Amino acid sequence: MPHDRAVGTRLPVLPFGHDRRPYPLGSGDPWHPARVTRYRERLVVPARWWLLLVGLAASVWLVYELPFGPGVSLPAAGGVFALGAVALLAYGRLAIAVGDDGVSVGRARLPLTALGSAEALTGEDARAARGPGLDRRAYVAIRGYVPGVVRIGVDDAADPTPYWLVSTRRPERLVAELEAARQTAGR
């Protein structure tokens, strides 16, 4: 009995259209990938946040150690630390990447064909862009512990998003890589 597909290639059907991706998943060749990454940054949380989490877990341990002993205090402190670690890791996993096919911030992607001008903002300009100067239609990926932001224009008439506002530790370098990617694409 001939098969239409190779064995093991059947994917489960997911609800709400989650089985379709609006972008290709790559070339399939791990040694010669189709995408060349020019810039990559992950916005991990600061080390002092981890120290605060350790202090919180130690406080929970101390509060439960004296009246209940180690049978209650160690699991309570471990649970607080585990929940806090999951929260910090999840919050600090935002990744920014610029490749020869576009820019991606987290799970959002902007192809080079829709990439507009980019502007690095620091200090008071960054604060104003994150606050009173923010357009409610903009795509926002900001982290309060990162001082710099980059405003990336969107040149697509079908997209209602006027720009992306993205936190970055190196705003000038990100803007330079975005401009280099635009030049490579001929825009």
Task: Among 30, 59, 91, identify where a domain stops.
Answer: 91
Q: What's the confidence (pLDDT) of residue 118?
A: 94
Verify that 100 and 175 share a domain, yes or no. yes
What are the backbone angles phi and psi of residue 107, rounded to the nearest 5°?
-95, -5
Q: Does one domain contain both 66 and 143?
A: no
Do 175 and 150 contact (CB within 8 A), yes or no?
A: yes
> Does residue 83 sit in the same domain as residue 108?
no
pTM of the complete model beyond 0.85: no
**C-alpha 23: how far from its chain's center?**
17
* 119 and 104 co-located in one domain: yes
DSSP code for 82:
H
Residue at 4 is within a domain: no
Question: How far apart (Å, rounded) are the C-alpha atoms in residues 129 and 121?
Answer: 8
Percent of the chain with pLDDT over 90: 66
Domain check: are 101 and 87 in the same one? no
In a domain, 156, yes or no: yes
Query: 84 near 56, Cβ under 8 Å?
Result: yes
Per residue in 41-94, pLDDT (tens digit) is: 999 999 999 999 999 999 999 999 999 999 999 999 999 999 999 999 999 999
Return the higher-pLDDT residue of 173 and 21. 173
Domain membership flag for residue 118: yes
Inter-CA distances, 50 with 32, 64, 79, 91, 173, Å: 38, 21, 15, 12, 28
Which residue is associated with the tokens 């990938």?
33
Do 151 and 112 sit in the same domain of this protein? Answer: yes
Structural domain includes residue 42: no
Shared domain check, 81 and 110: no
pLDDT at 147 over 50: yes
Domain count, the chain: 2
Q: Domain of 51?
A: 47-91
Q: pLDDT tens across 10-34, in order?
A: 545 545 544 444 444 444 444 445 5
